[in-house]
Structure 1
Amino acid sequence: MAKKVVPETARKRRRPTRTGTVLSERLIVETALRLLGHHGGAGLTARRLGAALGADPSTVYRYFRGMDDLTLAIADELIGRAVRGWRVRGEWRADLRELGLRLHSAYLAHPQAAVLAASRITGRANETATVEAILGLLRTAGFADGEAVRVYRSLVDLSLAFAALDSAALALPETVRDADREMWRDTCGRLPAATHPHIAATAAPLVACMNGSAYPTTLDMLLDSAAGRLSRTG
């Protein structure tokens, strides 16, 4: 049976921890993000989190039902960081493009957390507010309800899928990332035109493209497609 989370008013410590801080849900999430950056998903444990907070590991369970509940809070925090400062300016395509880039960047800033949390549905405040904002933009732009939902789903899944993919690459050891980049240059960049004419003809832009993220280009393709569908349906 899942542990019962203590209400906010009752769970706050009356005195600081050994490190002189007063615990809060936000502090635990921020500390978990830091631990993920150092140790990866496998290294995020209640014991290690308690040690970093200067508190007994069981204290975490006064704020979260378990480590999976903490993972959902981490995912919602990343969404919150993405939308912080984002403003709707009235041009749906530009607004959604900016939001998509913000989501991608927020997750890439914490690649280990992104690998752990990008596929999760949080049901928390930042996520639901973002869903509301995206659907509002699309419906106001003139998309029918069903089409607005499809564009929303495509936009979010695209952003988080690329966040997970690109974060997985960033989470690799630097030597491995360097080897992957060299592989494109040393293999595809040197194939002869006699056997691989199309790769040889596009070698320079191919190597440059494959060593970066395709997300901005793919995002533009999605939004172009959505705009085309909107214009055709009137």
Structure 2
Amino acid sequence: MTDRVVPPAARQRKRPTKQGVVLSAELIVDTALRLIEEHGADALSVRRLGRALGADPSSLYRYFRDTDDLMLAIADELIGRTLRSWRPTGDWVADLRELGLRMHAGALAHPRAAVLSAHRVTGRRHEIQAVESILGVLRRAGFPGPEAVRIYHAFVDQALAFGALDSAGTALPRSAREAEAQVWRTTYGRLPAESHPHIAATARHLVTTMRASSYPAALDLFLDAARTRLDNLPAGTGDPRPH
């Protein structure tokens, strides 16, 4: 794609595509998401998208400047899907835990797209909503502005990093995943106590634990640390709590 996007008011295609659908930015994003999960990053080509949509590839320029513009829209859509049914309750720890787990689950639902988009900053509607919502949760909890931003930054980066890490593992062929899981049993599970006493003492726990994501545990540790940090803030350092 090249830099020749059509203004929003002029984008609507009047005639259906060959498959009988009317093009829209939402339809293109949904189709691109499906193709990425099927084919990886190579799916983001004008020709492949046009073929999947039953449309002239050049018509995609009416909605997106280039493939990077489309990638940012995909990243923002993933954020939107995470936020769609999340509502803060006023319990900031429970709210952030629920959101973090939703972010992680959303990445695993679209693992290839998550790996491609986790490091992007979209500046778009859903991302802006997420930043505003998370900062609101933290400031209402009593974190002053600089501390709220610090906690927000660490919270989001942790969720995105684990999402990308676990998504990359999910994208491996099943045989590779099973072979790696077996390493914990056949290699670590058989190391002698004489040479590796700590591994031998915890081998059965390694075998049962290391196959699963550590994100829930890491998230709980992070939130415990954040709660301790809030409890130990000097008196008078917080901003006035917003409503």
Q: TM-score range by the shorter chain?
A: over 0.9
Larger displacement relative to structure 2 (204-213 or 138-147): 204-213
Aligned residue type for 1:72: L
Deviations 1:95-149 (A, max 9, x none): 0110011011111100010111111111110000000000001011100100000
Alignment partner, residue 14 of structure 1: 14
Alignment partner of 2:151: what SS?
helix
Q: Is the 8 A contact 2:36 2:43 kept in 1?
A: yes
Q: Identity over aligned residues, as a percent?
A: 61
Alignment partner, residue 231 of structure 1: 231
Deviations 1:52-111 (A, max 9, x none): 000111111211110011111111111111111101101001001100110111111000
Q: Is the 8 A contact 2:32 2:43 kept in 1?
A: no
Alignment partner of 1:212: what SS?
coil
How far apart, in 2, do the equivalents of 1:198 and 1:216 lie? 24
How far apart, in 1, do the equivalents of 2:186 and 2:163 lie? 27
How far apart, in 1, do the equivalents of 2:43 and 2:200 lie? 44
Alignment partner, residue 165 of structure 2: 165
Alignment partner, residue 100 of structure 2: 100
Deviations 1:191-213 (A, max 9, x none): 11111111011011112221110
Query: RMSD of aligned C-alpha atoms?
Result: 1.2
Alignment partner, residue 210 of structure 1: 210
Q: Is the 8 A contact 2:181 2:211 kept in 1?
A: yes
Alignment partner of 1:202: what SS?
helix
Alignment partner of 1:99: what SS?
helix
How far apart, in 2, do the equivalents of 1:43 and 1:75 lie? 15
1:73 aligns with 2:73: yes
How far apart, in 1, do the equivalents of 2:4 and 2:136 lie? 35
1:118 aligns with 2:94: no
Alignment partner, residue 34 of structure 2: 34
1:103-182 alignment to 2 at 5 Å? 103-182=103-182
1:58 aligns with 2:48: no
Alignment partner, residue 240 of structure 2: none
Alignment partner of 1:129: what SS?
helix
* Runs of 4+, deviation exceeding 3 Å: none
Q: Give the CA deviation at 1:2.
A: 5.7
Q: Give the CA deviation at 1:10.
A: 0.8
Q: Give the CA deviation at 1:11.
A: 1.1
How far apart, in 1, do the equivalents of 2:8 and 2:207 lie? 52
Q: Is the 8 A contact 2:166 2:213 kept in 1?
A: yes
Q: Give the CA deviation at 1:44.
A: 2.6
Where structure 1 has 5 or more consecutive residues not aligned to the other structure, the ranges are none
Residues paired across the two proteins, number: 234
How far apart, in 2, do the equivalents of 1:29 and 1:184 lie? 39
How far apart, in 2, do the equivalents of 1:189 and 1:195 lie? 13
How far apart, in 1, do the equivalents of 2:41 and 2:182 lie? 28
Alignment partner of 1:81: what SS?
helix
Alignment partner, residue 190 of structure 2: 190
Length-normalised TM-score, structure 1:
0.97
Length-normalised TM-score, structure 2:
0.94
Aligned residue type for 2:184: W
